[in-house]
Structure 1
């Protein structure tokens, strides 16, 4: 199937992304899951929010599930166990948000899902998760722009000491899982 490349400068890109999701088969039970993947600073969170709003569906941020700054690899089995496998069984995702200040997971939460779900974050396009995804979107932006966005984040001071560690985890993850090569949607966010 051809890859759909969308420029986020075009006003209709969210509608076209949702249309592509809705054309894809549901692979997590009756739910079509869109994973929004890409490097830090690419704009995943903002773009995923726009797609979820357009689709009228919930959005799950992997930032809520990473078990700390060294938790990129560890989030993949959590997403599968807490989010995707329940959907495949016809149940709603039940997950625990990570409390970054306490360094521990909090109370269980449930996300009601009917029809579609958007998950976003580095790791959402992992090989172990792709069998459940209706569509995978890769968000790309030039490195210099990503760096400026990271510097301007609301949590830039908290993120700064962990930025290199996180970048090394991203490098390892992308080398192993190659989500860009499996994406059916490319969101050019430069």
Structure 2
């Protein structure tokens, strides 16, 4: 009997294959930009890491977890990622942004994401109508609520537990307002 971890790994590997195939369709001279969106615990970070590991060269990965301004900042973090990272990179310019310092609750380290390097932006809120217009590869990753919660709390433990409901409500608002599922070019189902 196979474990749920085997199913998760197979689903991630299949999503990597589909993303890799899609990047082959990006016209020469256009830097591949990949957006990965989904609810907490769905596997976005794992998928981004697997794509990066499979990539035959340099690739930048920006996690919205590094941009959200605290637990109530999903919408603001997604907007910042679009304006401070995605828009400059899509225009061929370096992106300058600040990593959120979760310990101090304020903007922290200045960061630069270089132009001309393939880019993944991953996190809930990454995929909106505005961001979709700038990224040829757009992924929505779906996973059952119980498994998502189990994975998210295993990853972040007691730090996330008191914020789970508030964060989930922000995810619901993002899905209702921005319809990331409709903007995705790739839909990945992860057990």
TM-score for the superposition, normalised by structure 2? 0.87
Do the aligned residues in 2 keep the contact of 1:52 with 1:117 (CA within 8 Å)?
Answer: no
Pairs aligned (count): 181
1:3 is aligned to none
Partner Cα distance (2:27, 2:178) in 1: 22
1:151 matched to 2:150? The reply is: no
Return the structure number with greater relative CO, CA threshold 8 A, min gap 6: 1
Following TM superposition, by how much is the alpha carbon of 1:50 offset from its aligned partner in structure 2, in angstroms? 0.4
Match of 1:39 in 2: 39
CA contact (8 A) 1:37 1:125 kept: yes
Structure 2: gaps of 5 or more residues: 1-7
- Residues 15-35 of structure 1: CA distance to partner in whole angstroms, max 9, x if unpaired? 331221331358xx9322110
SS of aligned partner of 2:172: helix
Structure 1 partner of 2:71: 69
The question of whether the paired residues in 2 share the 8 Å contact of 1:38 and 1:139 is answered with yes
Whole-Å separation in 2 of the counterparts to 1:115 and 1:109:
15
CA RMSD across the alignment: 2.0
Partner of 1:165: 166
Structure 1 window deviating more from structure 2 (83-92 vs 65-74): it is 83-92
Aligned to 2:81: 79
Q: CA deviation at 1:151?
A: 2.4
